[in-house]
Amino acid sequence: MKRPTNIAILGSTGSIGRSSLEVIEAMPDRFRVTCLTAHRNTEILAEQVHRFKPRVVVVTDPARAGDLRALADGTTEVLCGDTALLDVVARPDVDIVISALVGFAGLHPTLRAIEAGKDIALANKETLVVGGELVMAKVREHKVRLLPVDSEHSAILQCLQGEDIHSVNRLILTASGGPFLNTSHAEMAGITPARALKHPTWTMGAKITIDSATLMNKGLEVIEAQWLFGLPAERIEVIVHPQSIIHSMVEFVDGSVKAQLGIPDMKLPIQYALTYPERPPSGFKRVDFAALGRLTFQDPDTERFPCLALAFRAMRDGGSAPAVMNAANEAAVALFLDGKIGFTAIPELIAAAMDALPPSGAVTLDLIDRADRDARAFVAQAAAVLTH
């Protein structure tokens, strides 16, 4: 019998990380967890250590160094700090890395894992948004597999099975529309973090939940799709589908459209990324079409949700533009969650950062790092002016 595949989960205490562990736990003959990481949630990490007995765990927030001793459990080694992430992903006892950190923090460890020849199950879409060109070049150079965990991209991958990419006319990404789909322009400014954190169809980490409320999440996903499937922006469209049952669609040159459907639960795309191209049976909930009654669709409104248009602009501008947009978004979302700025200031700050930091030259890792730092500094300064 084949030995179990060894898995490292970057961000095991997060929403995707915990769903990944549920998927893995249901297939003990097939998968073994060798590495888990958390930023500051050492309580959940301690439970995971006890349950999965990984060989190594990493806590990245140095402020939590005091909790480390409590984590050591028998044979589990405990490491601390960002650089430890770069070491653990390259270990010989890791076959697949589930990249499930949130935000820009995912880029460097994911690149390191690719360079070390590991297959990647990618949830951290920001990695492709800021560094798509570099990341995909490394994937080809090191001949690793990078498979999407994001449900829309998993849907597209499933629709493309057995198809020639040249026969694709367009990719149609579905968006739930988030909690403010029917909120008027006038009401948008008064949206509180508590309201924005209530997503109608998905339960996720705080940052992506706000991104879903502004539609920036869909913007990030369009850029992610561009790199994953190698298609230009003009061939990628977004349609709002509030029920989140169709996870995305592919239209072919003959006019035929394929869609992938399922109930909204990330365990399915996680399992698909881990077992691709196989489809092992699962106990996940099934779609009850009669109970659903109908599926509806509408165009996204980029007047009320300017973030989607900003992402298309970043994609057209290329170079450092997506990295600037991404960093400005991360900084603005953090300020919104802290109650420092209003909901409509998020796209305003991103647009201002993109105007102030025009896209520059050939994309190198240094350029991306610099764009990230500059955009965060710009937003901090611009927000200070807004709040005084």
- Interface positions with Mg ion (CB under 5 A): 150-152
Contact assessment for residue 215 and residue 178, using Cβ atoms and an 8 Å cutoff: yes
Q: CB nearer to ligand NDP: give 251 or 330.
A: 330
Binding-site string for ligand NDP from residue 318 to residue 357, where x marks contact by CB under 6 A and - marks none: ----------------------------------------
In Å, what is the CA distance from 101 to each residue of 49, 98, 181, 327?
A: 18, 9, 27, 15
In Å, what is the CA distance from 77 to each residue of 45, 57, 62, 72, 377?
A: 13, 6, 16, 6, 36
Q: Does 4 interact with ligand NDP (rule: CB under 6 A)?
A: no
Gap between the Cα atoms of 52 and 9, Å rounded: 12
Gap between the Cα atoms of 10 and 100, Å rounded: 5
Q: CB nearer to ligand NDP: give 307 or 352.
A: 307
Stretch that binds ligand NDP, among 88-96, 124-132, 137-145, 280-288 (CB under 6 A): 124-132
Q: Does 266 interact with ligand NDP (rule: CB under 6 A)?
A: yes
> 40: which 2 tokens?
């500051």
Q: Does 123 interact with ligand NDP (rule: CB under 6 A)?
A: yes
Q: Does 150 interact with ligand NDP (rule: CB under 6 A)?
A: yes
Residues 182-221 contacting ligand NDP, CB under 6 A: 202, 204-205, 207-208
Q: Could you tell me where the DSSP H helices lie in the chain? A: 15-25, 42-52, 68-71, 82-88, 107-115, 126-141, 151-160, 185-188, 193-196, 206-214, 216-229, 267-275, 289-292, 306-317, 321-337, 345-356, 365-386
Q: Tokens 């795309």 correspond to what residue?
A: 269
Partner from Mg ion, ligand NDP, none contacting 213, C-beta within 5 to 8 A by type: none
Gap between the Cα atoms of 32 and 297, Å rounded: 41
Partner from ligand NDP, Mg ion, none contacting 102, C-beta within 5 to 8 A by type: ligand NDP
Which of 14, 178, 219, 359: binder of ligand NDP (CB under 6 A)? 14
Q: Does 101 interact with ligand NDP (rule: CB under 6 A)?
A: yes
> 322: which 2 tokens?
């997506």
Q: Does 39 interact with ligand NDP (rule: CB under 6 A)?
A: yes
Which of 4, 5, 27, 40: binder of ligand NDP (CB under 6 A)? 40
**Smallest distance, Å, CB 367 to ligand NDP?**
21
DSSP summary character for residue 318: -
Gap between the Cα atoms of 89 and 263, Å rounded: 32
Gap between the Cα atoms of 310 and 271, Å rounded: 32
Q: Classify burial at 69, counting beta carbons within 10 Å of its beta carbon; exposed 0-12, middle 13-18, buried 19 or more.
A: exposed
DSSP summary character for residue 365: H
Q: Does 15 interact with ligand NDP (rule: CB under 6 A)?
A: yes
Q: Does 105 interact with ligand NDP (rule: CB under 6 A)?
A: yes
Q: Does 102 interact with ligand NDP (rule: CB under 6 A)?
A: yes
Q: CB nearer to ligand NDP: give 130 or 353.
A: 130
**Smallest distance, Å, CB 72 to Mg ion?**
36
**Smallest distance, Å, CB 15 to ligand NDP?**
4
Q: CB nearer to ligand NDP: give 37 or 320.
A: 37
**Smallest distance, Å, CB 215 to ligand NDP?**
14
Using CB positions, name the residue nearest to ligand NDP: 14
CA-based nearest residue to 132, from 319, 313, 289, 283: 319
Q: CB nearer to Mg ion: give 33 or 181.
A: 181
Q: Is 35 helix (H, G, I), strand (E, B) or coil?
A: strand
Give the phi and the psi of residue 235 in degrees, each rounded to 5.
-105, 15
Partner from Mg ion, ligand NDP, none contacting 38, C-beta within 5 to 8 A by type: ligand NDP
Binding-site string for ligand NDP from residue 58 to residue 87, where x marks contact by CB under 6 A and - marks none: --x---------------------------
The number of beta carbons lying within 10 Å of the beta carbon of residue 387 is 11
Binding interface with ligand NDP (CB under 6 A): 11, 13-17, 38-41, 60, 100-102, 105, 123-126, 150, 202, 204-205, 207-208, 266
